[in-house]
Amino acid sequence: MRRAVITGTGMHVPPRVVTNADLEKVMDTTAEWIQQRTGIRERHHVDPGTGPADLACEAARRALEMAGLEPDQLDAILVASLSPHHDFPGISAFLQERLGVDNGCPAMDIRCQCTGFIYALQVANLFVASGQYERVLLCGAEVHSTGLDMTTRGRDVAVIFGDGAGAVILEPSPDPDRGVLSVHTHAQGKHARKLWVEAPGSVYAPRISAEMIEEGRHFPYMDGRFVFKHAVSRMPQVVHEALEHNALSVEDVELFLFHQANLRINEAVGQRLGVAPERIYSNIERYGNCSAASIPMLLDECVRAGRLEPGRLVGMAGFGSGFTWGSALLRW
């Protein structure tokens, strides 16, 4: 099989910045408490009428420009997200429309929450490596803000999440030593209710009721301590899995990009791996947790800042609802 390489990256966040001080005005919390607990100083929220397909479109255009491609040259479009633009069809259909792609290429959503980009990268990599497609657009896009309980009742979750999108273009690598080396994904469904949104759901008739809304069952629920415990265990495990698969060591990796769920989680993961902080890039303080968008947003910032020279090894890892977790290794 041939190797797939990332030829373009892009990211986009809505212009409206919501600081910790802004959240102090609508819920019983403090800016210091939020930063100490999560590492977050601010996040971006959409204005009414903007959805994940709109954010994904802007990120995708930047990635296409870097790759030197026009939208109609795409052979497939993948979107990783937990926040649908509408109940159906998927975000990818609306993204295809916004990009003006009318060549009949497939458009598909992958819903694996905060590990969504890693899962989707596995699919995109297989598409290109197998020779089925030549140019694949992969976006991670989230609009959390319109589904959060912005009151004291919901503060444990609401302060964490932000809105944003990141995108990459995958094409066949002209250099067999460069590109995606491997991707590794896992899940443990028995913990699904530890981090979830219960309603609306097709298991209910009607799918949502006034009682559910009154009880807040349409807002995200998270058992924070349980999630923290599993994240700091699973992410180092899956990083080691990728390294062993490729006969590499932690010391070989120049840059690590971890899902931006909580700065304390990533600090603990780094310590368990024995990775110096300067080899772990973070932007959670500016964007919060953007779920499936967080890793491609990190990647784009690093690319545009010149942190990724050809030949450098990049390690990625994520953990999220499901539970899901995964890792990827790339030779830039």
For residue 272, pLDDT over 90 is answered with yes
Confidence of residue 1 (pLDDT cuts 50, 70, 90): confident
What is the rounded distance in angstroms from the CA atom of residue 86 to the CA atom of residue 200? 13
What is the rounded distance in angstroms from the CA atom of residue 219 to the CA atom of residue 200? 10
Check if 245 is active-site.
Answer: no
**Can you give the pTM of this predicted structure?**
0.97
* Per annotation, catalytic residue among 114, 139, 290, 302: 114
What is the rounded average pLDDT of the residues 128-138?
98
Give the number of other CB atoms < 10 A from CB of residue 238. Answer: 23
123 exposed, middle or buried (CB, 10 Å; 0-12, 13-18, 19+)? Answer: middle
What is the rounded average pLDDT of the residues 105-132?
98
* Per annotation, catalytic residue among 12, 45, 85, 259: 259
Check if 259 is active-site.
Answer: yes
Number of H helices, E strands in the chain: 11, 14
For residue range 183-226, what is the model confidence (pLDDT) as tens digits?
Answer: 999 999 999 999 999 999 999 999 999 999 999 999 999 999 99
For residue 56, which of 78, 87, 89, 86 has the smallest C-alpha distance?
78
Check if 246 is active-site.
Answer: no
Which pLDDT belongs to residue 280?
A: 98
For residue range 175-184, what is the model confidence (pLDDT) as tens digits?
Answer: 999 999 999 9
**Pairing mode of beta strands 107-110, 164-172:** unpaired
What is the rounded distance in angstroms from the CA atom of residue 316 to the CA atom of residue 329? 6
What is the rounded average pLDDT of the residues 157-172?
98
CA-to-CA dists, residue 137 to 43, 53, 212, angstroms: 26, 13, 38
Which pLDDT belongs to residue 307?
A: 94
For residue range 287-297, what is the model confidence (pLDDT) as tens digits?
Answer: 999 999 999 99
What is the rounded average pLDDT of the residues 78-84?
97
Confidence of residue 324 (pLDDT cuts 50, 70, 90): very high
Q: Which two tokens stand for residue 313?
A: 């090894």
**What is the C-alpha R_g of the chain?**
19
Domains assigned to the chain: 4-172 (3.40.47.10), 179-331 (3.40.47.10)
DSSP lists the bridge partners of residue 12 as 165
Which pLDDT belongs to residue 150?
A: 97
* Per annotation, catalytic residue among 230, 289, 290, 302: 289
For residue 26, pLDDT over 90 is answered with yes
DSSP lists the bridge partners of residue 44 as 17
Q: Which two tokens stand for residue 287?
A: 């964007």
For residue range 35-51, what is the model confidence (pLDDT) as tens digits?
Answer: 999 999 999 999 999 99
